[in-house]
Chains A and B, each alone.
Chain A
Amino acid sequence: MRMRRVWWGSAAAGLAVVLGLSIASGPAPGAPSGGVQVIDVPQPIYRTGPYAAGGSGFAGGREDYLALLNSRGGVDGVLFRWSECEDAYDTARGVECYERTKKDMVVVWPSSTGITYALVDRTIQDKIPMVTIGYGRSDATDGKTFPWIFPVLGNYWSQASSFIRYIAASVGGEQNLKGKRIALLHLDIPYGREPIPMFEDLSKQFGFEFHNYPLPAPGLEQSAAWVDMARRYHADYVIQWNFGQSCTVPFTASRQVAFPIEKFMGVWWCGSEEDVRPAADLAKGYVTSNFTGVGRNFPVIQQILSTVYKSGKGNIDEARVGTVYYNRGVIEAAVFAEAVHNGIKQFGLPVTGTKVRWGLEHLNLSDARLKELGLTGMIPPVTLTPDDHGGVSSAYFQRWDGKQWVRIPGLWQPYADLVRAQIAKSAAEYRLHFR
């Protein structure tokens, strides 16, 4: 009986502590002192589970960039105060996080496909712009149909067509694409299936063969697909469209069927250091696309290192500064800060979701402006309008040299006509059924 007492006691104590703490109000992290205008930036984010490397990278990048701005006195005198809400990459948790913190939100980065879909209607009602750089609905480019979603840089369709542009260049021109066999190895979830219609359109246009190989999520066992691609289909190129550890599996699986690594490429969500490090030398020579520059060789990253990290206020392990996920977080924060700046310039304070949306719709990150912000080379120049929320944009390509990602010179344009046609078709379908 004494034992049960102990159990009961610990249960009661545990619950009391949890309840007490969750009711108690504490200061938000990174809180600047009073007297100035402050924008809250709550973020649903995942720091545990299979995709933790992504979530922690994004969060670190965003927070460090906002910290950098704060150290310079903020944007137009407005400071940022960020906080995190752990959603474990679970849609229900993500929606709960959004609902809990939306009263303070002027922007939301869902950082997950599922949460993006679940927030489409809510963000319209709540008037909070949703920025989904490099993921989410590919047809959200259409600002008329999706007024509150901003893909900003490339989407999956634009990326798929950049892949073909890249392959065309490596086989010596588009005319040589004819008869080539291209395989798509993808997770069998909506994210992995999204590029298929684009590749099919492109294969019709250029006369290459295309075949897709779905992997049931989580995609950890791929040997059957690899035997098929390498030994029956005899693919000339394999593009993987996976996420998390399923991105790492091909490095051993492709060796097993003697498929050359130079002919193997990956979507930008398979293009982080965390995806290739566990494969070490096996990944050497592997190419992926990217929508941001990689490394520390950018003024803004140097500034973050010299201000934020020098004063010991970094938000991530310093070794990860400049990694792929981290830089994406920096770009997300930079696009947001620029939108805030635009909104303040046009309407003045206080900053609201509607003003940030206006700021995003009039985003003009020209070469000159990128240079001013220290972002030169991190993203291609981008201009948005109320009708065009971005998403059709050039991609970078990068190669793993065994130690780090190395940018492949050049900027790979999408086949914009095909991509825009696909977007128009999909958006029209959406309007027809759901508005």
Chain B
Amino acid sequence: MLYRECGVYRTTYAQDAALFPLPADRIGTAVLVLAAVLLPPLLGTYWLRGILIPFLVFSLAALGLNFLTGYAGLLSLGHAAFMAVGAYAGVILYGRYAVPLPLALLGAGVIAAAVGAVAGTPSLRIKGFYLAVATLAAQFLITWTIQHVPWISGGVFATINTPTVRVGGLVLDTALRQYYLAFVVVALLTVFGMNLTRSRIGRAWMAIRDRDIAAEIIGIRLLKYKVLAFIVAAFYAGVAGALVVFCWYGSANIEEFDLVNSVRILGMVIIGGMGSIVGSFLGAGFVTLLPILVSVAVHKAGVLIGGGAANSLISSLEDLIFGAMIVLFLVLEPLGLARLWKTIKDYLRLWPFPY
């Protein structure tokens, strides 16, 4: 009832090709976008800097990896390194060469994409788990290079702070403005990504994912599309990395882009739902926000039972609970949170009048 598909007639090609053919989807998305634009001024800096900006940044990174893993069926454990490339490229372009911020963001993405193209070439021959581990070579090689080339790392700290961030004449010094920059970038790239997955490229990726030999036989050039998947994924990661610098930490620090983060982003894609745009956001939310929620809850509970020397025990329980939650949600919905979301929509289609 609430989520209706019937009664929607597509009478023109334009209607058929619309991003959101269903009124319910259109309204829902509009409400969400409006909320994302109008609500933040009412939220404090904690919500923006502690929750929403990290969420947006990781969503973008997860979205990028989802093209690679969810759509093209290729695994990568080097995604955080692509973010590092973007972070350093962005801050060097903006800080050292005074490239305007929008161009610096684009440049960060392009340079990361170029690195991604090289890192992606083994995918033609290597598959599955072997490819995932092979991409670790990229992870280690990239972080090593950034640290060991002083021109990139900016010296022994291997940490480059960004100068005051300006877009045009506007100084991005408040949490709200940083949030809006992140939001605009993520929104644009999300729309681009939605269209990309429905384009020739996206369909070629899905064909490769489902059966690469079959895809090859019907005339899809594997090398081109596999490398393209790496390029797009690395582009998104690069922009996300630049956002880490400009909107979140204020500095590019190589230690923030280690293997742990690569695994974390892969976790977002799988828990969120492979081959789903919404899933990337849900997965990023799950992996970045749930540990915080668990931590707050566990420590509150800890205070109720005593605190003090028991603090270490309480903190250890956080990991235990977070791990159990991952298992629990996967058992409930092995195809990810996006599938869960679809199940809810299916339920709402008939609610409140089930057969």
Chain A residues near B (Cβ < 8 Å): 4, 7-8, 10-11, 14, 17-22, 24, 26-30, 46-48, 52, 56, 59-60, 84-86, 88, 91-93, 95-96, 98-100, 102-103, 113-114, 117-118, 120-122, 125, 137, 188-190, 193-194, 196-197, 216-217, 313-317, 426, 429-430, 433-435
Contacts and interface: CB of A to CB of B under 8 A. Distances in A.
B325 interface: yes
B245 to A, nearest CB: 10
A114 B309 contact: no
Given A7-B332, A99-B50, A434-B161, A118 B308 contact: no
B249 A95 contact: yes
B77 interface: no
- A-B pairs with the 10 shortest C-beta distances? A99-B50, A21-B297, A47-B315, A29-B307, A22-B296, A121-B250, A96-B50, A22-B297, A118-B249, A190-B158
B328 A11 contact: yes
B294 interface: yes
13 contacts: A26-B300, A47-B311, A48-B319, A56-B312, A84-B311, A86-B315, A93-B295, A117-B253, A120-B161, A190-B157, A190-B255, A433-B96, A434-B163
Interface stretch (B108-116, B126-134, B285-293): B285-293
Nearest to B325: A14
Given A85-B295, A86-B295, A315-B308, A48 B140 contact: no
Contact of B250 (A27, A52, A120, A430): A120
B255 A189 contact: yes
B347 interface: no
B251 A120 contact: yes
Interface string B155-184: 111111111000000000100000000000
A18 B297 contact: yes
Interface string B47-79: 001110010000000000000000000000000
B158 A193 contact: yes
B299 interface: yes
A48 B311 CA distance: 10
Secondary structure of the B side of the interface?
helix
Given A7-B328, A29-B307, A315-B308, A19 B293 contact: yes
Given A99-B50, A113-B255, A10 B315 contact: no
A99 B46 contact: yes
Given A11-B329, A22-B297, A121-B161, 5 more contacts: A11-B332, A14-B324, A20-B297, A102-B46, A189-B158
B212 interface: no
B6 interface: no
A84 B310 CA distance: 12
B161 A217 contact: no
A100 B50 contact: yes
Contacts of A100: 46, 50
A314 B256 contact: no
A48 B298 CA distance: 14
A118 B253 contact: yes
Interface string B99-131: 000000000000000000000000000000000
A29 B51 contact: no
A190 B253 contact: yes
Contact of B303 (A28, A95, A98, A196): A28
